[in-house]
Structure 1
Amino acid sequence: MNTHPSRLLLSDLRDACLDGAECLFDPELHDGPGDGEAIEHPHERAAREDIAKDICGTCPVRGACLEYAVRTMPERGIWAGLSAEEVAAVADLCADHEQPTGRAAYRDVA
């Protein structure tokens, strides 16, 4: 990527973030059933999310994914090995510490 992530549009950042991402092989694993599909039992959701988090642990674009998630604050899914609620907590923590934007701000969290 020739352009720094902070200068990309969110749609472009998502595309750059996902290039080579492990979640591309099974997106439903990371995001759950789509709207209108069967309701997911809480135990099934927890098991699915645990597997998704394990896959994120070996993903080559985990840092970029976390950066994207903190910028966009997703409402659902697993991002860089974190749930949407955990991403919000990371964003709050980063804001509390007033760290600069960019990968360095998230290095110790991921």
Structure 2
Amino acid sequence: MANASRLPGRAEHEWRWQSRAACRGLGSERFFHPDGERGDDRDARDRAAKRVCASCPVRVQCLRHALHVQEPYGVWGGLTQEERRALHNPLRASA
């Protein structure tokens, strides 16, 4: 679960970008793995999500949000949870 203390709150202007997201209305199953999904299935899901993100007009805002709230699940702004974690802890990613 995202760190709720980092969420921007009820200020509508903080969330307006979501209405322009390429993923809007596509369903969360493309961006969030079911429990236990691994290997080729997981990789295929990540690639499909990243294709949507690649053409998204608010990709930067989405990624910025995910990094700010330390979103622990799913593809946000074109990065998986593992890729976002590596940005927070580059030494761990190179190990």
TM-score using structure 2 length:
0.69
Q: CA RMSD in A?
A: 2.3
How far is the alpha carbon of 1:66 from its aligned partner? 1.0
How far is the alpha carbon of 1:82 from its aligned partner? 0.4
Aligned length: 81
Describe the superposition over 1:12-62 as per-residue Cα deviations: whole angstroms up to 9, x where unpaired.
53x3332211222232101123x6xxx434221110111101110000110
**C-alpha separation between the residues in 1 aligned to 2:17 and 2:89?**
21
In the superposition, relative to structure 1, how do residues 40 and 89 fare at CA in structure 2: closer, same or farther (>3 Å)?
Answer: closer
Matched, 1:16 2:16: yes
User: What 5-or-longer segments of structure 2 have no aligned partner?
Assistant: 1-6, 91-95
> Could you say which residue in structure 1 is the equivalent of 2:81?
84
> Could you say which residue in structure 2 is the equivalent of 1:75?
72
User: What 5-or-longer segments of structure 1 have no aligned partner?
Assistant: 1-7, 94-110
Q: Which amino acid aligns with 1:81?
A: G
After the TM superposition, which segments of 4 or more aligned residues of structure 1 sit over 4 Å from their partners?
none
**C-alpha separation between the residues in 2 aligned to 1:10 and 1:83?**
24
After superposition, residues 38-77 of structure 1 pair within 5 angstroms as 39-77=36-74
Q: Which amino acid aligns with 1:52?
A: A
TM-score using structure 1 length:
0.61
In the superposition, relative to structure 1, how do residues 42 and 54 fare at CA in structure 2: closer, same or farther (>3 Å)?
Answer: same
Identity across aligned pairs (percent)?
33
**C-alpha separation between the residues in 1 aligned to 2:8 and 2:56?**
23
